[in-house]
Amino acid sequence: MSKFAGKKAVVTGGTHGMGLAIVKALLDGGAEVLYTGRNEKKIEEARTELKSDKAHVVRSDAASMADIRGLADTAQEKLGRVDYLFVNHGIAEVQTLEETTEESWDRHFAINTKGAFFTVQSLSPLLNDNGAIVFTTVANDLIFPGLSAYSGSKEAVRAISHVLAAELLPRKIRVNSVAPGYIKTPTMGVAGMTEEERRDFEKQGADTSPLKRMGTVEEVAAAALFLAADATFTTNVEFPVDGGFAQGLTGAH
Ligand SMILES: NC(=O)c1ccc[n+]([C@@H]2O[C@H](COP(=O)([O-])OP(=O)(O)OC[C@H]3O[C@@H](n4cnc5c(N)ncnc54)[C@H](OP(=O)(O)O)[C@@H]3O)[C@@H](O)[C@H]2O)c1
């Protein structure tokens, strides 16, 4: 029998990158999945690629409270109850101390932080007791100049995840996070980089990782699914998928 047969999952930011890998792994295991994104073209590309009657895509902006409430309504309509919630969506814009604008700061916190919290608030009534929530945060110590707003917004998610882990204990809902290091996605999760900047970013990722390469979206998805489905005696942890980066491993190279 397929590992996730009968399971229902919601994945925010599931139209490309790590989120799409999580959606694919869930579908491969027999789950039914509702996933979100904003960009219509990317939504269509994901829909075409997945071609499954067990995959439901919804255009939903995590910065919009109306969209978040609408997502819960759609989840109830399409899935009924939910076993796993992956709060994966996120944006990053590289702006130095001098360049950072109030608009960019607010956008990061509206999408990455407020959107993450209210997604959980909105969907938690649908979550089955003994279910699981997995946030996508970021590797500890991934300090890249120009990512103050991004790093701050994700650190806040990390803190929120700990509080929610405590609040959801009575329902036996486990709350964990997957913390990626440098993962090879089309955007590297960072908006507005030139081709050259993206190459530098990727090079820094491969050079600074103790395993001397970037991670793959499938490696992040495997960890996220492990936390959701296999780690049934684990809550309130942040699981690094970073090639040893945040563990202070240096190694002989
Ligand atoms: N790549 C890395 O090296 C890395 C490292 C550490 C952490 N992360 C984190 O890991 C997560 C996934 O990253 P990724 O590299 O896979 O990014 P990605 O390829 O850019 O995918 C991000 C996903 O989030 C969605 N999204 C963005 N803003 C949204 C919003 N306001 N409402 C709803 N959906 C939204 C995107 O859809 P649209 O394009 O349609 O908006 C997309 O589906 C993010 O939270 C990111 O911060 C990434």
Domains and CATH numbers, the chain: 8-241 (3.40.50.720)
Q: Does 150 qualify as catalytic in the annotation?
A: yes
Predicted pLDDT of residue 5: 97
pLDDT digits (tens, 9 = 90+) for 190-248: 888 888 888 888 898 899 899 999 999 999 999 999 999 999 999 999 999 999 988 88
pLDDT digits (tens, 9 = 90+) for 99-149: 999 999 999 999 999 999 999 999 999 999 999 999 999 998 778 889 999
Q: What would the mean pLDDT of 182-195 be, rounded to a whole number? A: 86
pTM of the model: 0.97
Can you name the residues that pair with 237 across neighbouring β-strands?
none
Q: What is the CA radius of gyration of the chain?
A: 17
Q: Which residue has the higher pLDDT, 246 or 11?
A: 11
Whether 91 is in the pocket of ligand 1, judged by its Cβ within 6 Å, is yes
Most ligand 1 atoms within 8 A of CB, residue of 10, 15, 20 to mutate: 15
Minimal-distance CA residue to ligand 1 atom 47: 90
Token pair of 209 as six digits: 């990782």
Whether 136 is in the pocket of ligand 1, judged by its Cβ within 6 Å, is yes
Residue with tokens 């990317």: 42
Predicted pLDDT of residue 7: 98
Find the 136 Cα to ligand 1 centroid distance in Å: 9
Can you name the residues that pair with 238 across neighbouring β-strands?
177
Find the 170 Cα to ligand 1 centroid distance in Å: 31
Predicted pLDDT of residue 142: 78
How many Cα neighbours within 13 Å face the side chain of 130?
4
Find the 252 Cα to ligand 1 centroid distance in Å: 33
Cα 94 to Cα 114, 135, 144, 145, 158, distances in angstroms: 20, 22, 9, 8, 20
Residue 215 CA: nearest ligand 1 atom is 3
Q: Which helix (H) or strand (E) holds 11?
A: strand 8-12
Whether 46 is in the pocket of ligand 1, judged by its Cβ within 6 Å, is no
Predicted pLDDT of residue 1: 56
Q: DSSP class of residue 114?
A: I
Minimal-distance CA residue to ligand 1 atom 46: 90
pLDDT digits (tens, 9 = 90+) for 33-59: 999 999 999 999 999 999 999 999 999
Whether 62 is in the pocket of ligand 1, judged by its Cβ within 6 Å, is yes
Whether 138 is in the pocket of ligand 1, judged by its Cβ within 6 Å, is yes
